[in-house]
Amino acid sequence: MAVESRERGGGQGLPLFETKKLGGARIGHKVFAATILGCLGWIWVYRSLHLPRPGEKGRWAWVGMFVAEVLFGLYWVSTQSVRWNAVCQYPFKERLSQRYENDLPAVDVFVCTADPEAEPPAMVVSTVLSAMSFNYPPEKLSVYLSDDGGSALTFYALLEASKFSKRWIPFCKKFKVEPRSPGAYFARHSDVGREAAAAGEEWFATRKLYEDMKHRIEEAMERGSVPMEVKEQHEGFSEWNNPTVTKRDHQSIVKIVIDGRQGDAVDDVGCRLPTLVYLAREKRPQCPHNFKAGSMNALIRVSSVISNAPVILNLDCDMYSNNSDSIRDALCFFMDEERGHQMGFVQYPQNFDNITKNDIYFNFFRVFNEIELREMGGYEAAPYCGTGCFHRRESLCGRQYSRDREPEWSCEARTRRDETVERLEEDAKLVADCSYEKGSQWGKEMGVSYGIAAEDVVTGLRILCRGWRSVYYNPKREAFLGVAPNTLDLSLVQYKRWSEGMFQIFISRYCPLAIGHGHIPFGARLGYCIYLLWAPLSLPTLFYVAVPPVCLLRGVSLFPLVGSPWFVPFACVFLARNAYSLAEAVSCGATPRAWWNSQRMLLIRRTTAFFFAFADAVLNSLGVSQIAFDLTAKVATEDTVARYEKEIMDFSGSSMMFVSIATLALLNLFCLVGGLMKLGMDFKFTGQMVLGGLVVLLNSPVYHALFIRRDKGCFLASVVFKSFVLASVACSIGILMG
């Protein structure tokens, strides 16, 4: 097929994508890296030469500082692996359509949702509608919604969306609407805008239809049930007739809501509609369902029965498509005649449409998207990040890459064009049953991996180890936009899941330092470790922010005298590292204030989420605890949203993480004040005071919430009480020991 099509023209022989190396300040970076490395060595020499002898005061603190500094140093070295190989990708979708417009492969889009309360169905179906209206031949497009909430309300919302799509898709195509999520589009464009003026009546009518639909869905949500007359209209609701059907206990439900093969599946202007499928895989209390990984695997199998497209796009339910050409861009990487055959997956960055100017919770992965992922892409080993990712079905299903196999783009021979809908649904239900996976390779060699809270990253690594390559593509116009957590609690819970999952990978047999020889370049494997080691990084960080302040109270000096030559490397590392990270963030579009906020969030994450993740991962590996998937809620009360938009931190929550945040902040404050009173401005302690002073400065919103603010986003009284007690105990121990 490839040869034949190429002859049809379309810039014959020209590649479908180009990869360009990003040059930039390479020499400057090398000088910087060498300087830091030199200084790190200098610090280590200082520590080993000045270690207090056994029995001397502060020996253990010194040993701890030494170990922490060695670990920070090594970690820093690994972060350099993703700072010298950046590339930029340029797909040529015009060439793609010139050469292959009639032979484009079918694409299956998977959208996962898990809970109608945390993930409102109105939002979910907006994402589904954005996927249905991709600029792509509809007969080759199928959209699957996996509902782990097993909720009739979500099914109802999908039915509503299928009706609305008949109006929405032609509207999008006619007026070249972007983004094609109706929720996002109407939120962004008002009725006095240019768009409304251009489309006139039709614009208002479409918005009215959308708002009525949204209203009906939200009303059903509030009532907690689907309207009776709707239930009677669609036999699909009979699945929920049995009162024993609950979120955690129900049979497989598969409903082909739109069957794209049928002649009558057309929109308001007579164009074909894409296929639309609702899936709630079987759930039984005694049967582990493996969270999102389990739902992805059920989707892979169910879709193989119904449409079996060779390309799969995976989206979280909040990640709507912001660019209707993303499929075409992604296909350029898979279909390029030279290099396409080895591409296993194409990852787009995760972006959000609710980031505030100074990004108080450091949600926006700016440097990660603009620098680190581009570098991983430079190694052709971009990680799979769970959403916004196009997969080749065969690589996701566990197939080894082989040079000799021609890629198979046509739908598999086993197309079931003539099968009835009922038959397809019955067959699909079988593969969505719990029993289907028993004793199989699903979750192991096939599909998305089980047992690790970061199922996406480990799955990506395993695909790379089977010889496939991966691309990271970061287009100018964001391809997908989602909802970032808007409270501290949500953000920390999310980071806890990520860091725990990633550390689990590090201690599993898929540790990238141990596997991937010959498949994944060493630099990329080291690059993976940056994230996989988040959790253990909490230990030296906790030491570094808890022990020096206590030592200050005790009068134990941990840093060299200001003015002595030994002070130079400390100052150098501190200044150069921060200046560099500030410059990096600003060059990626962050405000200086956002950078400052990011430093606070790094401190908070490392001392809370990462630490608890570390503890849980260790317990988990000992078999004491089980992995969990704490969903990130995508809705919040008005009060919370208002605080988020005003960039006021929200500390409400009773988790131990909040106790840790407040305790560390208070400890540093008490010790700094105590130390200053006891020691005055002693140059021997300047280093410690500066360190403590910085921690206090970073924590200013914490003190504000502890002592001044009186709104609902403050710490709970119980958290305040516990942290005062803990901080005071730590200080007293310090004083007594001194």
Ligand X SMILES: O=c1ccn([C@@H]2O[C@H](COP(=O)(O)OP(=O)(O)O[C@H]3O[C@H](CO)[C@@H](O)[C@H](O)[C@H]3O)[C@@H](O)[C@H]2O)c(=O)[nH]1
Considering the rule CB under 6 A, would residue 386 count as an interface residue with ligand X?
yes
Site for ligand X in 421-440 (CB under 6 A): none
Cβ at position 384, least distance to Mn ion in Å: 15
CB contact at 8 A, 525 and 39: no
Q: Can you tell me whether residue 53 is helix, strand or coil?
A: coil
Contacts of 620-626 with C-beta under 8 Å, sequence gap 24+, read 620/500, 620/504, 621/504, 621/507
Q: Which residue is nearest to ligand X (CB)?
A: 386
Q: Give me the active site residues, please.
A: 148, 456
Q: How far is the CB of 631 from ligand X (least distance, A)?
A: 4
Candidates 352, 498, 534, 658: give the one binding ligand X (CB under 6 A).
498
Residues 615-674 that bind Mn ion (CB under 5 A): 632
Q: Does 148 bind ligand X (CB under 6 A)?
A: yes
80: its two tokens: 């350099």
Q: What is the rounded CA–CA span in Å between residue 379 and residue 363? A: 26
Looking at residue 423, its amino acid is R
- CB 285 → ligand X: shortest distance, Å? 14
Helix (H) or strand (E) holding 602: helix 592-607
The per-residue DSSP string of 92-117 comes to: -HHHHHHHHGGGPPPEEEEEEE--TT
Closer to ligand X by Cβ: residue 83 or 250: 250
Under 8 Å between Cβ of 181 and 129:
yes
Number of chain positions touching ligand X (CB under 6 A): 23
Contact string 448-487 vs ligand X (x = CB under 6 A): -----xx-x-------------------------------
| Residue 353 interacting with ligand X (CB under 6 A) | no
Under the criterion CB under 6 A, does residue 119 sit at the interface with ligand X? yes
Listed in sequence order, the residues at least 6 apart from 486 whose beta carbon sits closer than 8 Å to its beta carbon are 354, 361, 636, 640, 641, 644, 650
Shortest CB 58 distance to ligand X, Å: 41
- 351 lies in the binding site for ligand X (CB under 6 A): no
Q: How many Å apart are CA 617 and CA 626, to the nearest integer?
A: 9
Nearest distance from residue 450's CB to ligand X, in Å? 12
Is 316 annotated for ligand binding? Answer: yes
Q: 382: exposed, middle or buried (C-beta count within 10 Å: 0-12, 13-18, 19+)?
A: buried
Distances (CA, A) of 326 to 131, 174, 315, 408, 476: 10, 18, 13, 21, 12
Binding at 386: pick from Mn ion, ligand X, none (beta carbon under 5-8 Å per type): ligand X
| Minimum distance from residue 147 beta carbon to Mn ion (Å) | 16
Report the sign of the C-alpha dihedral through residues 623, 113, 248, 398, in that order: negative
Angle between helix 201-223 and 152-175 (nearest 10):
170
Choose, by CB under 6 A, the member of 172, 535, 631, 664 that binds ligand X: 631
What is the contact mask toward ligand X in residues 591 to 630, using x (rule: CB under 6 A)? --------------------------------------x-
Cα 88 from chain centroid (whole Å): 21
Six token digits for residue 44: 């280590």
- Residue 373 interacting with ligand X (CB under 6 A): no
Instruction: Name the β-bridge partners of 316.
Output: 112
Query: CB-wise, 113 or 699, nearer to ligand X?
Result: 113
Pairing of strands 320-321, 311-316: unpaired
At residue 70, what is the residue type? V
Min. distance of Cβ 497 from ligand X in angstroms?
5
Query: For ligand X, which stretch binds (CB under 6 A), given 109-117, 246-254, 358-366, 517-525?
Result: 109-117
The interface with ligand X within residues 284-313 (CB under 6 A) comprises 291-292, 295
Taking CB under 6 A as the binding criterion, the range among 58-66, 185-193, 337-345, 497-505 that sits at the site for ligand X is 497-505
44 contributes a contact to ligand X by CB under 6 A: no
404 known member of a binding site? no
Residues annotated within a binding site for UDP-alpha-D-glucose: 119, 148
Residues that bind ligand X (CB under 6 A): 112-114, 119, 146, 148, 291-292, 295, 316-317, 386-387, 453-454, 456, 494, 497-498, 501, 629, 631-632
Residues annotated within a binding site: 119, 148, 292, 316
Residues that bind Mn ion (CB under 5 A): 316, 632
